[in-house]
Structure 1
Amino acid sequence: MDLQKQLNEDMKQAMKNREKQRLVVIRSVKSALQNEQINKGSDLTEEEVLTVLNREMKQRKESLHEFENANRDDLVAKVEAEMDVLHTYLPEQLSDEELQKIVDETIAETGASSKAEMGKVMGAIMPKVKGKADGGQVNRLVLQSLS
């Protein structure tokens, strides 16, 4: 079942079960998907849906960081609950070891040997790990490997 159909089914179930928090997150994601679809002018591919989900997760991570810095524990708990709901729709994240292996393979493929070629490596690696790894984590590992 594709993600959009899964979201619709889960939204119905959340309504029946009166799961307010889950319902709010699902509606938010569906709204973001609909906006993306309107901007594109056609149906979204599964990869584009994942891109939107990752964007939603990134926004919540940034909010979480800001709320933690402001000592807003009430909002931290709310955002963490939202992130838990979003995690159910994202693919399994790669472990550090798996990601390091992909980084090493990509560096070998591109023949990069210095930090100056980091853009070339990042351009080659991101499509391979899209949705499965955080860009910041990939950037850090590539930088370490090229040092």
Structure 2
Amino acid sequence: MNLKETLENDLHEAMRRKDELTRDTLRIALSSIKLAEVESRKALDDAGVLSILQKEVKIRKETVGELQNTGRSDLVEKAKQEYEILSKYLPVQLSDEEIEQFAHEVIAQLSASNLSDMGKVMGILVPKLSDKAAPERISKIVKNLLLNQ
């Protein structure tokens, strides 16, 4: 069973349980997936679905940050719950130490020594770790490693 089918099955299960928050959250995610499929005129594979889910999770995370400043605790709580619902479909994220270990290997392999080599390092690391770490996190770690050499 692929990721999209899992989402659809979980949506049907949420509907049976009358879990409105999970139902609505999964509907939004599946709607985004279907929109991407229509735009690309082909069915998305698991990597494409995962990419859409990562965007949805990122949106929820940003929403939580923005809403905390407004004092709307009810909306903050809802956004946090949506974040948790969608996060369980994402693969386990690597720790900073694990990303650093991969980065050290690639830096040594390329003999990278300064920030001008960052593009080369990122070009190898991002595709390798794309489903396990956000590119922003990878970039931050690589930049620190290259600056501290």
Deviation at 1:29?
A: 0.6
Matched residue, 1:13 = 13
Distance 2:42 2:60 in 1: 27
Matched residue, 1:57 = 57
Distance 1:36 1:113 in 2: 40
Matched residue, 1:84 = 84
Distance 1:53 1:123 in 2: 23
Distance 2:57 2:88 in 1: 11
Cα deviation code 1:78-123 (max 9, x no counterpart): 1100010011110111122211111111222232211122122112
Distance 1:69 1:43 in 2: 39
Deviation at 1:135?
A: 2.0
Matched residue, 1:46 = 46
Look up the equivalent residue of 2:48 and give its one-letter code.
Answer: E
Cα deviation code 1:53-79 (max 9, x no counterpart): 111111111111111222322211111
Please list every run of at least 4 consecutive aligned residues from structure 1 whose deviation after the TM superposition is greater than 3 angstroms. Answer: none
Tell me how many residue pairs correspond in the alignment.
147
Cα deviation code 1:9-37 (max 9, x no counterpart): 10110000011100011001100000000
Distance 2:4 2:143 in 1: 36
Look up the equivalent residue of 2:105 and give its one-letter code.
Answer: E
Matched residue, 1:104 = 104
Matched residue, 1:133 = 133
Percent same amino acid among aligned pairs? 35
Matched residue, 1:29 = 29
Look up the equivalent residue of 1:103 and give its one-letter code.
Answer: A
Look up the equivalent residue of 1:143 and give its one-letter code.
Answer: K
Distance 1:61 1:124 in 2: 27
Distance 1:89 1:107 in 2: 31
Q: Which runs of 5+ in 2 are unaligned?
A: none
Give the alignment's TM-score, normalised by structure 2.
0.93
Give the alignment's TM-score, normalised by structure 1.
0.94
Matched residue, 1:3 = 3
